[in-house]
């Protein structure tokens, strides 16, 4: 399965797709990037005169790259003709630095475990300077579902 095939299977669309590119992917983890466009709607009000990317969006970015993309890759052996339903079950994230409009981030995820379709990952997000902006653990259920 190619990285483009994984991106094509993501159940998100603009403006809620937070994956631009997958740089590395194997059974132990994934690394990918996303650039927050300056015109994303949440910047208008978060915060007035000092726009920052909300923590929930940073978490979502880490989940899309670090959990969903990796989960799609890991489930490829189950059945390739199925879509995947995804539900985040838990996360514990430490936020260390702000991320502003126009910034590119890199998310690195390491699989902690994958069993009974539950995936748990250690994730970190770095800015273009290589500084860790947030890090933690994200877990979720990945459920193959029939097309139809």
**Active site amino acids:** 46
The separation between the first and the last C-alpha atoms of the chain, rounded to the nearest angstrom, is: 22
**Degrees, nearest 5: CA angle 102-105-111:** 155
DSSP strand pairing (104-115 vs 83-95) = unpaired
* Coil, helix or strand at residue 8: helix
Which residue bears the tokens 């653990």? 137
Task: DSSP for 49-83, please give it.
Answer: TS----HHHHHHHHHIIIIIIHHHHHHTTT-TT-E
Q: Across the strands, what pairs with 137?
A: 92, 122
**CB contact at 8 A, 3 and 22:** yes
């Amino acid at each position: 399965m190619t990285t483009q095939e994984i991106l094509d299977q993501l159940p998100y669309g603009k403006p809620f797709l937070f994956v631009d590119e997958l740089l590395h992917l194997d059974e132990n983890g994934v690394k990918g990037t996303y650039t927050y466009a300056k015109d994303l709607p949440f910047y208008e009000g978060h915060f007035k005169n000092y726009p920052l990317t909300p923590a929930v969006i940073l978490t979502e970015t880490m989940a899309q790259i670090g959990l969903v993309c990796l989960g799609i890759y890991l489930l490829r052996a189950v059945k390739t003709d199925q879509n995947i339903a995804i539900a985040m079950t838990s996360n514990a994230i430490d936020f260390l630095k702000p991320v502003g409009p126009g910034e590119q981030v890199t998310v690195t995820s390491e699989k902690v475990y994958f069993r009974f379709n539950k995936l748990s990952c250690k994730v970190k997000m770095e800015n273009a300077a290589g500084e860790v902006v947030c890090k933690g653990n994200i877990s979720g259920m990945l459920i193959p579902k029939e097309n139809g």
